Amino acid sequence: MTLFGKLYNWVELRLGISQVIEKEMTGYLLPRTINSWYSLGSVLLFAFALQVVSGILLLIYYVPDADKAFKSVSVIMNEIPFGWLIRLSHAVGSNLMVAALFLHMFSVLFMGSYKKPRELQWVSGFTLLNLVMGISLTGYLLPWSQLSFWATTVATNSVGAVPVIGEFLVEFIRGGKLVGPPTLGRFFAIHVALLPLVIAGLIAAHLFFLKRTGISTPPTSDTATAPQLGNSYRYEKHEGGIPFFPNFFLHDMSSVAIYVACLLGVVYFSPYLFFTPDSFVPANPFQTPAHIKPEWYFLANYQILKIFPSEIIGLTVQGGAMTIIALLPFVDRGDKRYPLKRPLFMACAIGGIALFLALSIWGHLS
Ligand code: HEM
C-alpha cells in the first residue's frame, strides 16, 4: 500500500471520511435539469476566497497611515515582485465579484427560487450583497489617493441628510468633522477585520439554509411552482438526479475558470479599467478634483441623490426600494415560478433593472 493509501486508511478509521464524501459529494443529488446559472454561487465562493487571500498578501506591505498609505501602494505596484498582480487582482476582483453578485441575484429572481421555503436564503443573500458593497466602499479609501479621499467625502456627506442624527453619524463614521487620518483607521479596521468576518459568517448561514431546504428545481415548464409547505419541515430531494461530485462540480469549476479568465483578461489587457486619473494622485484635502464619481455599482444611488431637490427625499426613496427588495419573498407571495406565468412580476423586475441601468449611465455621464 502506498504511503498516501496508509494515511487515508488511518484517517478513514478515525473519521469515516468516505461516508461524508458519499453523503455530501457523490450521493448529493441535484436536479437533472440544473443549469449554468446555479454555478454562480460557487463562483462567488471562489471570488470571496480570492479577495481574502489577495487581501492578506496586500497586508504584508500596505501601511494604514495617512502619510504612508499612498506610497506603500506605489511600492506594492512597482517594487514588490508580483505586487501589481496581487493588487490589481484584488481591485479588479472586487468589481467582478459585485458583477457576479448581481447576476446571481437576477438568476434567482427570474427563476423564482427566492420563494418559499427559501425566504431566508434571499434575505441572507441580499444582506451579503450590501455588505460586499460596504467592504468595497471602505477599501476604496485605503490607497489614500485623491479619488479615495473625495469619493469617501461625497459618500459620507450623504449620511448627513438623515434627520436629527445625521451630523452625529457623519462625524462618527469619519472620526472627525472631515475625512482624515481617523477615517482611514476606522475604514481599515472595518475593511480587513469586521466585514470579512461578518461576510464569512453570513456565507456560512446562506449555505446552511441551502443545505436545509435543498436546492430548487429550475422552473423549466409553465407548471413549475414553489412547494406547498405542510406542518412539518421537508427537504427538497432530487431522486434520480445528477451527483454533485464529479458532475456538477466540474461544471462549477468551468464557471470558476471563466471568472478567472475575465479577471486576468482585465488585469493584463485593461488594468486600469476601474481606475480614474485621480487614483494616481495622493490625497489632497485642499484640492477638490473636478469630477468625482463613485464606483459603477453606486452610480444609480449617487444619481438618485442628485435628482431629488433634497437629499432626504433621495435617501427615503432608496431606503424604500431596498426594503422592498430585501423583503421580496414576503411581498411577492404567489407560488408560480415559471417566468412567463408571472407577467406582472417580470414587468416590474425588468423595469427595475432598466431603471437601475439608466440611472447608472446618467450618473456616469452627468
Ligand atoms: C457572497 C455572496 C454569495 C454567495 C457566496 C452565495 C452562494 C450561494 C450558493 C453556493 C448557492 C447554491 C448554488 C446556486 O444556486 O448558485 C446559492 C443559492 C442561492 N442564493 Fe446565494 N450567494 C451569495 C449571494 C446571494 C445574493 C446577493 C442573493 C440574492 C439577493 C442570493 C440568493 C440565493 C438564493 C435565493 C439561492 C437559492 C437558489 C436555489 O436553491 O435555487 N445569494 N448562493
Q: Does residue 47 have its Cβ closer than 6 Å to ligand 1?
A: no
Task: Determine contact, residues 40/253, Cβ cutoff 8 Å.
Answer: no
pLDDT at 292: 86
pLDDT at 362: 97
In a domain, 350, yes or no: no
In a domain, 302, yes or no: no
Ligand 1 center from residue 42 Cα (angstroms): 9
Burial class of residue 290 in the structure, from the number of CB atoms within 10 Å of its CB (0-12 exposed, 13-18 middle, 19+ buried) = exposed
In a domain, 128, yes or no: yes
pLDDT at 115: 97
52-95 tens-digit pLDDT? 999 999 999 999 999 999 999 999 999 999 999 999 999 999 99
Model confidence at 1: pLDDT above 90: no
The whole domain housing 277 covers: 37-221+242-293
Nearest CA to ligand 1 atom 42: 125
CA count, 13 A, side-chain hemisphere, 270:
9
In a domain, 75, yes or no: yes
In a domain, 23, yes or no: no
Cell numbers given for 327: 423583503
pLDDT at 291: 83
Q: How many domains, in total, are found in the chain? A: 1
Q: Does residue 202 have its Cβ closer than 6 Å to ligand 1?
A: no
pLDDT at 349: 97
pLDDT at 211: 96
Q: Does residue 104 have its Cβ closer than 6 Å to ligand 1?
A: yes
pLDDT at 366: 87
In a domain, 185, yes or no: yes
From the list 35, 32, 33, 46, the residue with the least C-alpha distance to 258 is 46
96-108 tens-digit pLDDT? 999 999 999 999 9
How much of the chain, in percent, has pLDDT values that exceed 70? 100
239-279 tens-digit pLDDT? 999 999 999 999 999 999 999 999 999 999 999 999 999 99
Task: Give pTM, 2 decimals.
Answer: 0.96
In a domain, 24, yes or no: no
In ligand 1, the atom with minimum distance to the C-alpha of 37 is 16
Nearest CA to ligand 1 atom 8: 41
Task: Determine contact, residues 21/240, Cβ cutoff 8 Å.
Answer: no
Give the CATH number, domain containing residue 44: 1.20.810.10
pLDDT at 167: 95
In a domain, 312, yes or no: no
Model confidence at 161: pLDDT above 90: no
Give the span between the Cα atoms of 241 and 129, in whole angstroms: 30
What interhelical angle do 119-141 and 83-110 show, nearest 10? Answer: 150
Model confidence at 9: pLDDT above 90: yes
Model confidence at 334: pLDDT above 90: yes
Cell numbers given for 204: 456560512
Q: How many CB atoms lie within 10 A of CB 297?
A: 20
Band (121; pLDDT cuts 50, 70, 90): very high
pLDDT at 204: 98
Q: Does residue 328 have its Cβ closer than 6 Å to ligand 1?
A: no
Mean per-residue pLDDT over the chain, rounded: 96
